[in-house]
Amino acid sequence: MSWNEEKISKLKELWGKGSTASQIAEIIGEVSRNAVIGKAHRLNLSAKIKTRNTSSSQNFLHLFDISYSIQP
């Protein structure tokens, strides 16, 4: 399988919309998830960084604060 302009264009479009590498591979066809990741890297497309759920962190910190505010 080779990357032609049509597939590269579709990769850029879907990557920009936040699609996963697996989803992109399935939509484009004839490419693997790893091929999509590799091509995105070679094209210098922005990395997709998953962040921790903020509310979970805040809930933990809230519980931490409560435990220190309780007087014996």
Question: How far apart, in whole angstroms, are the C-alpha atoms of residue 40 and residue 14?
Answer: 11
21-70 per-position pLDDT tens digit: 999 999 999 999 999 999 999 999 988 765 555 555 555 555 555 555 55
Q: Quickly list DSSP for 25-54.
A: HHHH-S--HHHHHHHHHHTTPPP------H
pTM for the model stands at: 0.66
Contact 40, 7 (CB under 8 A): no
Domain boundaries along the sequence of the chain: 5-69
